[in-house]
Structure 1
Amino acid sequence: MPASPPSTPRPAPAAIGFRTLVGFAEGADPAEWGRIRATQLTAGRKLALFLLAVNLAAAAATVVLMARTSPLWVLLSWGAVVTAVATTVAFRRLATRHRGDGYATVHEIRNTASDGICLAAVWSVVPLYFCAQASPGTAAGLGVVLTILMTAASVAMAPLVLATLAFLAGLGLAICVQLAVADTYGATLGSAIFTMLLMAVCINRARSLVVIRAAEITLQERDETVSLLLREFEETRADWLWETDASRRVVKASPRFAYACGLDPISIDGMPFLQVLAGPGWETGEFSAGLRALAEKLKARESFRDLRLPVQIEGEERWWQISASPRFSDQGKFCGFRGVGSDVTEQRASSDKINRMARFDTLTGLPNRLMINETLVRAMAEAEKWGGRCAFMMLDLDRFKAVNDTLGHPIGDRLLGRVSERLGQLTGDISLCGRLGGDEFAVVIRDATDAAAVERLAQRIIDALSHPYEIDQHTLYIGASIGLAVGPRDGRTAEMLIRSADLALYRAKDAGRGVFRTYEPELHVQAEERRVLEMALRSAVEKGEMFLMYQPVVDAGSGHLRGFEALLRWTSPEFGPVSPDKFIPLAEDARLIAPIGAWVLRTACEEAATWPSNIRIAVNVSPDQLQNPNFVTTVTSSLASTGLSAERLELEVTESVFMHEGLGATKVLERVLDLGVRLSLDDFGTGYSSLGYLSRTRFSSIKIDRSFVQDAAKGVREAVAIIRAVVALANSLGMATTAEGVETEAEHQMVQEFGCTKVQGYYFGRPLPVEEARALAGRRWDEFAAA
C-alpha cells in the first residue's frame, strides 16, 4: 500500500461515520479501511475465549440461582443452548484467519451481527422467563448477573461493534420489557439508560480503536518509507549515509560510505571526517575551496545542502555532493552531524562538456561569442580595479565569401579551421582568441598597457592570415581587416567596447581592407550621422526628394547623341545635396536599394519613352538588385507600363556582380538579356577583372573608367596600354567601348585614336535636369554635333 503523505492528518473519532464504523458503508480510503476491519476481526478473535468464559460463568450462576424455583430440565436445557451458542460464536471468532496487517471486507464485518443476535436471543430468556418466576432476592441476583454479562460483553465484543450493539440492544430490550410488565418504571428507565450508556461506550471504544489503528498504519508507512530510503542508500553505489560526533569524527560508518572512501568500515570509525575527505592533502595542508567551505559549515554547526567538493579516492579525483544537518540531544546539547553523500563525478563531467559546448565554437574549437563576452567583462573589471587597460580586436576575413561561393561551404569551413590555427599560434597567455560567427573573429587582450605591442599584434595577425592556404589542391588567398578598441578609454562596458571596435572595423574596410584601424571618437559621430541619414533615406522616394539627372553619351567619331545615362541624385531638406557615393552604399546596407532601384528604372524608362526612338537610356544596377529574382519582373513591368522598347534600355553593371555568382546574379542577367535589354560592363579594369565572365555574358559594350582616361592623357604608359588592350578585347568580342570622364578636346582626340566607339564626359555635357535632357534629345543630331 502506498505511503500516505506525512502531512495528511488521520480523522478524529467524531469524524468517523457510524455507517462506516459498523460496516454498513465503505470508507473514504477502501484499502486503509480494509486493514482497519482486519484489525477489528483480529481483536475479536483474541477475546473470543474470554467471551466464551463470561457466557459460561453467567449461565452457571443463573442455573444455581434458579435451581429452587425452575425445573431442572428447563435450566439444563437452557444452559446447554447457551453453551452451544457461546461455543459456536467463540469458534467462529477463532476460525477467522485475518492478520492485523491484512485486509477484510465490509461483508465479513456485517456477518458478525449474527453472533450478537444469537447471544441476545438465548439470554433474553433470563429476564423474560426466569425473572418472572424468581423471588425478589433471586431476581436481584439475576439482575446482577445480567449487568456483569452486558458489561463484560461490551468489553469483549467492542472491536466488533455491530455484534456488540445487536447483543446489548436485544438483551437490554428484554430487560426493559420485563421490568415494564412488572410496573417498575423507574427500574425500566434505569435499565434503558444503562444499556444506552454501554452502547455509547462500545461505539466510542470502537472509534478509538479505528483511530489508533489508523495512526499505527501511518507510522508503519513512514517506517517503511524510511526503511526503503535507507535500503536504497545502502544498496546503490552512488549514495551513502554518514554521521559524526560532536568532535567531527566519523561514527556508525555505513559499509557503503566506507566503500566510497576506499577504506575499511572498522578503521574509518573514529577518523576525523575532514581527514577522510582530504585524503593525501590532509598531511600537506593543500585543501580545496569546497573542503574549506565544508569545514566552516561544520565549525559553525550549520545545515548545508548539495555542497560539492573534490576528493582523492585511491589516487583518483572524484567529485562528491554532500548534505547534512546538526544533531542535538533532548537537552539541546550538540551531538554531531548526520547527512547523506553521493558521487557526482559523471554528472560533473557531463556538465563540463555541456558548458564547453555552450562556450566553444564547434567548427574551429575556439571560444564562441558567449565566452568572448564573459572574458571581456572580466578583463574590463580587472583593468578598472587596477587602473590598467585591456583591448578588443574585431577581425573580418576579406574575400572569404568568394571562397564559399566558388568552392563551396566544406572548403570554406576547412579554411576557417586553418585561420583559427594561425590565430591560436599568435595569441599568448594574456589574450584570448575566439570566433564571433561566420567569418568574424575577435581577440581579447587582458593587458593592453603597451599600445604599440597591441598594434604590432594586429599587424602580425593581418600578415599571418594573408599568407596563402593550400586546401584540397586549391591555393586560396584571403586577408583580414581589424578594428581595435582599448578599454576603458574607448568604452566603459563590454558592450560599448565591442561597438567601438566594430566602428573601427568599418573604417578599416572603407580604407581598402587588409589593414587595422583604431577607434576614434569621431567614428561614433559618423555612425550617428549614418543612422540619421538612413532614417531620412527610407522616406526620400515617397517625399519626392530624389530625382534623376541625365548625362549624354555621344558617338566618338561623329559626336552624334547616342543616349543618356540616368544618374540618381538626392537633395534632403535636412542634409542638403547628398553625394551618391554616400547614400548608395547606405541604401545597399539598409536593404533599400531594391525599392529605390525599381523607382529609378521605372522613372528612366518613362522619360526615355518620350525621346526619339534612336536615343537609348542607360541605368546603373546594383549587385544587390540582381540577387533578387523579382528584378526581372521589375524590368518587365517598367518596359510594359512605359511602352519603351527593350533594345533602347541598357543596364550597367560592375564587375562586383560576378562575386555573387553563388546567389544567382548571372542567371538573372541572362533572363534580362532574353528580354532584348542591352548590357554594359561599367568601370572595367578597376575591380576583379576576368576574361571568363566576359566570354560567358552577352555584354553589348564595355565602359572604360575615367581614371584610365585621365592617366592616359597624362602620358602614363600603363593606362595607355590598358585602354588599348580593352579596346582590342572589345573589338574581338564584338562589343562597343565607351570612354568615361572625357573633359577636353585632347582627351577626345586621344580616345578616338585608341578606337573607342562612344564617349561620355563633361566635354560633351554635364548631367542635365530632365527638361534640358528632353530638349537635347529632341534636337537634330547635326545641331548637337556643331554645338
Structure 2
Amino acid sequence: MRALLGLYDPADTTDWGPIRAAQMNAGSQLALFMLAANVVGASLIVLNFAALVPLWKLASWGALVGAVGVAVAFRRLAVRHRTERTATLGDVRDTVLDGLALGAVWSIAPLLFGANADAQAASGMWIILSILMAASSVAMAALPLATIMFLVVLGGANAVAISLIHSPALGAASLLFTLLLVFACTARGKALVVIRANEIALAERDETVSLLLREFEDKAADWLWETDAQRRVMRANPRFAVSLGVDPMAINGMPFLQVLAGPAWESGNFASGLRGLAESLKKREPFRDILIPVFVDGEERWWELTGSPRFNEDGSFIGFRGVGSDVTEARESANKISRMARYDTLTGLPNRLLINESLAVAMSEADRWNTRCAFMMIDLDRFKAVNDTLGHPVGDRLLMRVSERLKQLMSANDIIGRLGGDEFAVVVRDASDAAAVERLARTIIDVLSAPYDVDNHTLYIGASVGLAFGPRDGRTAEMLIRSADLALYRSKDAGGGLFHAYEPQLHVEAEERRVLEIALRGAIENDQLHLLYQPVVQAGTGALMGFEALLRWTHPEFGPISPAKFVPLAEDARLIAAIGEWVLRRACMEAAGWDDPIRIAVNVSPEQLHNANFAAFVARALKESGLHPSRLELEVTESVFMREGTAAIQTLEAILDMGVRLSLDDFGTGYSSLGYLSRTRFSSIKIDRSFVQGASKGQKEAIAIIRAVVALADSLGMATTAEGVETEDEHRLIQALGCTKVQGYYFGRPLPVTEARALATRDSDSGIAQVA
C-alpha cells in the first residue's frame, strides 16, 4: 500500500520506474478533464448560491477554484514528457500538493456558503460535491495519494458543515461516504498498477520471444510442418521446403512420407526411423525425436522430427503439426565421440569396449542359431624388453606394425582389437570349424614372431594365445573372456610362443589359487607356517656343517600344502617379502641357540633383494637374535641378476659387508653366466640335484658339469654343495668328484625344530651318518 501511494520503493526485483511513469501519464491524460470538471462544478455552485451569497464572494471563490485547477492541470502536463518512460518516487509524492490545494479551495463552499443555505441550496451543493468527489476517486485513481488527500480534505469539511447545519448523524453519513470513496480509489489504483505491471512483464516476455524467434530464423535450425487428415503436406513452411531443396508450392498436397522418403519412395527401401514415423502417423499418436535420413541434393542429411495430432472442436482428427531439426552435424559429432570411445587411438583397432560389445553380439547369435563363437587373447612376448631398451616411442611404432599384420589375417568373420598395452583380442563370430580357429591361432603366432624393422632396429618378439569357445567355455561374454585369459596364462607359463585352448581344469586351478591366496594372507597371523631344517654335512667326514631352513605350510582345512604351490603364489601376490622376513627372523632366532659354528642357510627371493631396505632388515634380525653374521648363509638364484638397473647388487654387497655368507643356488639350471660369479662374493655354489641324479646314472654330461663347477669353485675359493644325495653310491660319487658339502635324504630328511635343535647341540666331532 505504501508503494502504491508513493511513500517508498519496495526492495524487490520489480522496476517501479515504469509503473510510476504510468501513474503520472494517467494523471496527465486526465488533467484537462479534471480542469473542466472543476470549472463546471464551481459554476454550478455559483448558480446554486447566487440568490443567497453576495456575488463578489462567489466570483472570488470561483476565480480561486479556476486558478488552482489551471495550476494543477499545467503542473501535470508539464511533467508529461519527463515522466513518459520512468518516474521517481518524488514525482508521485509531489502530486499530494495538487490534492491538498484542490481540497482546500473546494472545502470553502460547504464551510463558508453552507451556513447561509436553505434546504434546497444545501441539497444542491452536497449533490454537486458528491459527484465531484466520486468522479475524482474514479478518474484520478492512478494517483491515489493526491486523490485521497483531495477526498479527505473536502469530505472532512463537508461532514463538519453537515454536522453543524443539520445533525451529527448526517455528518457521520457524509464521512462514511468519504471513506468508501477512499477505499474505492485505493482499490482502483491498485488494479491499475497491477495491470500496468503485467503489461510491462508481457512486453518484456514478447521482446524475449521475438529475440529467440529471430535467432532461430537467423540460424535456420528448426522449422514447422503440418499435415491434413490424409497425411498430406499443407501450408508448407518456407524453411521446411528450403531444407528439402524444393519449392514450397511444389510439396503442398504431397504425402508427407513421400516428401521425406525422396528417392526411396519408389523402391520402398525405407529407413527404420521413417517406418516408425509412418506407424505413429497411422495410429494418430504423438511422437518425439524420431531420427530419419533425408536426401537433399544427393547428400544424406539426418532430421529429427516431433509432432502431435490435431483435433477440431468436435473432436475430429484434422492432421498433425510438429517441428523438425537438421541434426546432421550433431549426429556426426556423436559418431566421432562414439568412435573415439570404441577405437584405440594408437592402432585404430577396436578397443576393449567395442570388443566386449562385439563378443556379446557374437554370443547372442551363437545362442540364437545354436552354433559356436570363439575368443582369443593375444599377449606379445618380450615386448617389455623393447620398451625398456629402446623407449616407448619405438614400442608404440612396433604395436602399430603388429596391428597391421593382424589386420591382414582377419576375415569378415573375425574382429581384431587391442585391449591395452601389448594385449590384443580376436572375436570369431562363427567358430563351428574348431580346427580352422586353431589354425588361425597358430598363424597369428607365426606371423607376429617374424622380425620387425622399426627405426633401423631389427626387433624379435613373439606371441602367446589363449583360446576359448562360446558358449561351451562361458555362457556370457565376461565368462568367455575369463576363460580365454586363463588359457593365455597357461601359454605364458609354458614359455610363450604357444596357444592353449581353455580346459575346465584351468578354472579349477585358478579357483584353487584364489582360495589359497586368501588363506595364505592369513597364514602368518594364524601361525600356520613353520620351518623344517635339513642337515648339510661335510662330504668327506659326514660332520654336521649346518642346516638349510625349509618353509612349510599346514592349513587346518587343506592340510599340508607343497612349497611348489604356495611359494610361486606368494611371489605373484606380493606376499613373499613378508613371508621371507618371517622365515629369516625365525631361522636366526633358532640358530642362535645352536653350538658354534653350525650355520643356518636361508633362501632369499629376488623380490626381497630388490628392496633397498632388505639389508637393514637382515642387520636387525641378526641383532635381535644375537646370531653371529658368519653363521648366516643366504641362498640366492641367478634370477636375481636378470633385472637391470635395480639395487640387488648393492643390497648383496651391504649384506656381505656385515660378514654374512652368500651361496648361489641351483647353479647350472638357468642361464649360468659366469659373469654372475664375478658380480659379487659368493662363498659357495650349490649343484642342483638333477645333475647329481644324472651323474649317478652315468651320464657323461652331468659328470662333466659337476667337475667343471667344482674346478671353477676351487679356483675362485668357493665351496660346493651337492643337493639331493639319497644313496651311498651317490655320496661316494659326489665325494670322488670333489664336492665340499652334501645334503640330501641319505644324511637326513628335513627335521622339525626340536630334532634339529637336539642334533645341533651334540658333539661336533660325531658324524651325522651314524645318527641319521
Give the TM-score, by structure 2 length: 0.89
**Which of 451, 454, 471 is the equivalent residue of 1:488?**
471
Matched, 1:119 2:107: no
Alignment correspondent of 1:153: 136
CA contact (8 A) 2:541 2:767 kept: no
Q: What is residue 79 of structure 1 aligned with on the other side?
A: 62
Q: Deviations over 1:500-552 (max 9, x none)?
A: 33333344444444333333333333334333333443343444443333333
Distance (whole Å) between structure 1 residues aligned to residue 541 and residue 451 of structure 2: 51
Residue aligning to 1:102: 85
1:312 aligns with 2:295: yes
Q: CA deviation at 1:720?
A: 4.4
Q: Which residue identity lines up with residue 489 of structure 1 in the other structure?
A: R
Structure 1 residues 727 and 171: alpha-carbon distance in aligned structure 2, compared to 1, 3 A threshold: same
The answer to whether 1:64 aligns with 2:23 is no
Residue in structure 2 matched with residue 230 of structure 1 by the alignment = 213
Answer whether contact 1:399 1:479 (CA < 8 A) is retained. yes
The residue aligned with 1:297 is: 280
| Alignment of 1:243 onto 2:231 | no
Measure how far apart 1:581 and its partner are. Answer: 1.0
Q: Does 1:23 align with 2:6?
A: yes
Decide whether aligned partners of structure 1 residues 326 and 384 sit closer, same or farther in structure 2, where only a CA change above 3 A counts. same
Partner of 1:680: 663
Are 1:619 and 2:607 counterparts? Answer: no
Partner of 1:619, secondary structure, is: strand
1:166 aligns with 2:149: yes
**Cα displacement (A) at 1:499:** 3.0
Is the 1:546–1:571 contact (alpha carbons within 8 Å) kept by the matching residues of 2?
yes
CA-CA distance at 1:756 after TM superposition:
4.1
Question: Which amino acid in 1 is paired with 2:367?
Answer: E
CA–CA separation in structure 2 for the residues paired with 1:429 and 1:662: 46
Distance in 1 between the 2:86 and 2:289 partners?
Answer: 42
Tell me, yes or no, if the aligned pair for 2:25 and 2:84 is still in contact at 8 Å.
no
What is aligned with 2:175? 192
AA at the equivalent of 2:225: E
Q: 1:44 aligns with which of 27, 31, 38?
A: 27
1:205 aligns to what? 188
| Cross-structure match for 1:532 | 515
Asked whether the 8 Å contact 2:225–2:240 carries over to 1, the reply is: no
Q: Is 2:587 the partner of 1:604?
A: yes
In the TM superposition, residue 44 of structure 1 has moved relative to its aligned partner by 1.8
What aligned pairs does 1:336-415 form with structure 2 within 5 A after superposition?
336-415=319-398
Once residues 762 and 218 of structure 2 are traced to their aligned partners in structure 1, the CA distance between those partners, rounded to angstroms, is 105
Equivalent residue number for residue 429 of structure 1? 412
Do the aligned partners of 1:323 and 1:341 also contact (CA within 8 Å) in 2? yes
Structure 1 residues 181-190 or 148-157, which shifts more? 181-190
- The answer as to 2:620 corresponding to 1:633 is no
Task: State the secondary structure of the residue aligned to 1:679.
Answer: strand
Tell me: CA distance 1:660–1:125, structure 2 relative to 1, closer, same or farther (3 Å): same
Q: Is the 8 A contact 2:543 2:766 kept in 1?
A: no
Pairwise CA distance, 1:410: 4.5
Change (3 A) 1:599 1:189: closer
SS of the aligned residue for 1:376 comes to helix
Distance 1:474 1:644 in 2: 53
Cα deviations by residue, 1:318-360 (Å, 9 ceiling, x for unpaired):
4444444444445545454444444444433333333333333
Deviations 1:643-692 (A, max 9, x none): 22323322222222233335544443333333332322222232344344
The amino acid that maps onto 1:711 is: G
SS, match of residue 350 in structure 2: coil
What's the counterpart of residue 438 of structure 2?
455
Q: Is the 8 A contact 2:349 2:403 kept in 1?
A: yes
Task: Summarize deviations over 1:68-122 as a string: whole Å, max 9, x none.
Answer: 4433333332222222111121222222336998332232222212212211222
In 1, are the aligned partners of 2:227 and 2:256 still within 8 Å (CA)? no
2:725 is aligned with 1:742: yes
Any idea what SS the aligned residue of 1:489 has? coil
Distance 2:768 2:116 in 1: 163
Number of matched pairs:
769
Q: What SS class does the counterpart of residue 419 from structure 2 fall into?
A: strand
Counterpart in 2 of 1:578?
A: 561
In structure 1, distance between residues paired with 2:374 and 2:28: 90
Q: Which amino acid aligns with 2:21?
A: A
Task: Indicate the larger mover: 359-368 or 265-274.
Answer: 265-274
Farther-moved stretch of structure 1 (37-46 vs 188-197): 188-197
In structure 2, relative to structure 1, the CA distance for the partners of 1:420 and 1:712 (3 Å cut) is farther
Question: 2: CA distance between counterparts of 1:328 and 1:41?
Answer: 48
Taking structure 1 as reference, are residues 153 and 606 closer, same or farther at Cα in structure 2, changes over 3 Å only? Answer: closer
Q: Using the alignment, how far apart are the partners of 1:744 and 1:476 within structure 2?
A: 49
Q: C-alpha separation between the residues in 2 aligned to 1:759 and 1:30?
A: 99
CA distances 1:185-233 after superposition (whole Å, capped 9, x unpaired) = 5543443343333333322322222232233234333323322221221
2:487 partner amino acid = A
Residues 729 and 447 of structure 1, relative CA distance in 2, 3 Å threshold? farther
Q: Is the 8 A contact 1:399 1:478 kept in 2?
A: yes
1:707 pairs with one of 685, 690, 703: 690
Secondary structure at the counterpart of residue 644 of structure 2: helix
Matched, 1:650 2:625: no
Does the Cα contact within 8 Å between 1:682 and 1:704 map onto a contact in 2? yes
- Given candidates 678, 688, 702, the residue that maps to 1:695 is 678
TM-fit CA distance, 1:584: 1.3
- What is residue 18 of structure 2 aligned with on the other side? 35
The amino acid across from 1:182 in the alignment is I
Q: Partner letter of residue 579 of structure 2?
A: I
Gaps of 5+ in 2: none
Local SS of the residue matching 2:224: strand
For structure 1, the 5+ residue unaligned runs are: 1-16
Match of 2:73 among 66, 71, 90: 90
Match for 2:431: what amino acid? Answer: A
- The CA distance in 1 between the partners of 2:437 and 2:246, in whole Å, is 55
Q: Report SS of the residue matched to 1:170.
A: helix
SS for the counterpart of 2:767 is helix
- Residues 547 and 185 from structure 1, CA distance in 2 versus in 1: closer, same or farther, beyond 3 angstroms? closer
**Kept in 2: contact 1:406–1:662 (CA 8 A):** no
Equivalent residue letter for 1:453: A
Q: Percent identity?
A: 66
Q: Deviations over 1:433-458 (max 9, x none)?
A: 33334444333322222222222222
Shift of 1:761: 3.2
* CA distance in structure 2 between the aligned counterparts of 1:255 and 1:571, rounded to whole angstroms: 87
Q: Structure 1's 409 and 759: CA in aligned 2 closer, same or farther, altered over 3 A? A: farther
What SS does structure 2 have at the residue aligned with 1:432? strand
After alignment, is 68-77 or 113-122 more displaced? 68-77
Q: CA deviation at 1:135?
A: 4.5
Q: CA RMSD in A?
A: 3.3
Select which of 145, 167, 180 maps to 2:163. Answer: 180
Q: Distance in 1 between matches of 2:395 and 2:653?
A: 28
**Counterparts of 1:100 and 1:257, CA distance in 2:** 47
TM-score by length of 1: 0.88
Cα-to-partner distance string for 1:700-719 (whole Å, 9 max, x where unaligned): 33323222333344344444
Distance in 2 between residues matched to 1:346 and 1:732, nearest whole Å: 80
Conserved? CA contact 1:405–1:660, under 8 Å: no
- CA spacing shift, 1:199–1:548, aligned 2, 3 Å: closer
